[in-house]
A and B are shown apart, each in its own frame.
Chain A
């Protein structure tokens, strides 16, 4: 047991919170990277398993009904295996069987709808159900991730990609803000939160790599496609608003609260011109608000990727982008200067109580 953990327990005792000592001897929670390893090897095994099924039961896989039925049966088998097994080998096997089953179901759906929006909406529904019912932390995280990618693809068919990332951002903000609301479901909420977080990053990469191609291929025009950037910013604004309204400390002065909302408005203006900046900053602020360093790191990464992919955006010239960034940079530094003048320099305190002049 670490010193910090001991001090946490001591603080809990001091606060009159009864910690059941008998229950704390159980094994510690599994780190995220072990879950990632489990998902990776499960996925790799599922690929080979699918190859085996395709060779053994080629006629079944070629038929739409056959692949849908076989896929559904494999999903049920995986669910049953998750319920009965308590071993890592069993859970691993269940993940591989489930992933192979999902691929078979997806294959059957492709036969019905090809790569239309219906396919992606159906896959979104499937992954949503699996994220809710599959009794495995790793599977829940994976299904949440797959659901976010399916949502992106479904909305990309209508040239509404920014709405997809805004919706996922809002969902993950709501999840992490309510992480401790249902104590018996805390690992479920975390699994969904991590899955959506990875999904958000992947969506950002997809928007950079293939988003524009999908848009031009589909040749979509219309009111929703026109409104998509505004809706995307509105969803970022909603996520930011929820974050500020629920987590701004009540002890903050009216000036500080006002400054927070002025900063939020500036961020939204920036987001409209440089998409992805808003989502990166919201994830970063969310990480700070819930005390989660992984979220802070992912937010920073998202922010850097957002600025990087702005370079390749085809919607405006590099000269306009340069002027936009110049304006944004100046505005942000001016805002910092104004905040320091208005609220005072926020120098952090060092361990010995003296002020750290890093700021």
Chain B
């Protein structure tokens, strides 16, 4: 559908279709869904919205922390909801995969609610890293069974959150080499890059059906930490960040090689360009503004540098797009 829409818009924009025939061409391109496709869509929207609303209702109820209600009714309520969700998943497993996925997603959310209730009742502290870590471990079997990309992404987000909270609490105690809480960016980079590599390997070698948007999200999770590490190195040139000098160019080269020649994806190449523009601009700003003086000429030079880099990236990306349109 997306490719046909793109092509149709292109034909109309270039004037290849006479204006009086555009309306007919839109009909022929079948951009609008059939009644059956629309019915399926609405059916699934209702299923997902309904399931998530019920799971969130339990979450909000626990968050209300109703003092008059004893601990056992509260545990009983969450566990009953959990059993119900798992029951629907098991029932749907035989012939209704969408219902199974919706139920498993709700069940995964309810596991987090149950852990939060444990923390609330036994005063183990708000938002500790253990909660997210245990949550991720407990729902892993369901994530594996569901084969559902959104649940995989949610699972990875839990791990990211657990790492983030761990470093906010304990600094770099996880590894003697990392001595600062800023090590979080290294760990997030390693985690998300590993997930991206595994995802790409699965797509290329094992023919996994993974949406390009899932892989793009993973690439974003990999690109943001390494870009921030490189930018931190520019601002604070300490030995701790020095490995970024070697890792960042390698990451850029891998991104270019992988998504220019391996599995072409221009959006990710464009993401690499944005990262590079940010890093180079900050480097120039440090050289011209921090280390030099705030001269008007320095600011003009920075403006011109950004213009040249941006225009260069656009020209290059357009050429790549013309060679192999999406």
Contact = CB atoms under 8 A, between A and B. Distances in A.
A42 B17 CA distance: 34
Interface in A279-300: 281, 284, 288-293, 297
B254 interface: no
Contacts of B306: 41, 44-45, 48, 96
B275 to A, nearest CB: 11
Contacts of A252: 35
Interface stretch (B7-15, B131-139, B169-177, B178-186): B7-15
B35 A249 contact: yes
Interface string A29-47: 1110110011011101110
A183 B22 contact: yes
A83 B281 CA distance: 29
Contacts of A186: 9, 12-13
Nearest to A58: B296
Size category of the binding interface on chain B:
35 or more
Interface residues of A, number: 93
B270 A307 contact: no
Contact of A322 (B28, B33, B64, B300): B64
Contacts of A263: 42, 46
A267 to B, nearest CB: 9
Interface string A2-42: 10110011011001011111011011111101100110111
A318 B61 contact: yes
Contacts, number: 271
Contacts of A331: 50
Contacts of A21: 16
Interface on chain B toward A: helix, strand, loop, or mixed SS? helix
Interface stretch (B95-103, B156-164, B193-201, B243-251): B95-103
B47 A55 contact: no
Given A49-B300, A348-B37, A24 B42 contact: no
Interface in B277-297: 277, 281, 294-296
Interface string A71-106: 000000000000000001100110010000000000
A51 interface: yes
Given A41-B310, A330-B50, A332-B46, A322 B60 contact: yes
Contact of B270 (A33, A289, A340): A33
B56 A307 contact: yes
B240 interface: no
Given A8-B4, A23-B14, A190-B9, A332 B19 contact: no
A346 B36 contact: yes
A339 B314 contact: no
25 contacts: A8-B7, A11-B29, A12-B17, A12-B25, A18-B18, A19-B16, A21-B16, A24-B14, A41-B313, A52-B300, A52-B303, A89-B308, A93-B311, A281-B49, A289-B33, A307-B53, A318-B60, A325-B57, A326-B57, A329-B53, A332-B50, A333-B46, A333-B50, A339-B43, A357-B96
Given A40-B310, A44-B281, A358-B97, 18 more contacts: A9-B7, A15-B25, A15-B28, A18-B21, A19-B11, A45-B306, A48-B299, A52-B303, A55-B299, A89-B315, A96-B306, A186-B13, A249-B32, A249-B38, A303-B49, A325-B53, A325-B56, A333-B46
Interface of A: 2, 4-5, 8-9, 11-12, 15, 17-21, 23-24, 26-31, 33-34, 37-38, 40-42, 44-46, 48-49, 51-52, 55-56, 88-89, 92-93, 96, 180, 183-184, 186-187, 190, 247, 249, 251-252, 256, 263, 281, 284, 288-293, 297, 303, 307, 311, 317-319, 321-326, 328-333, 335-336, 339-340, 343, 346-349, 357-359
Q: Which 8 A-B pairs have the closest CB atoms?
A: A41-B310, A329-B53, A346-B39, A291-B31, A332-B50, A329-B54, A48-B303, A318-B64
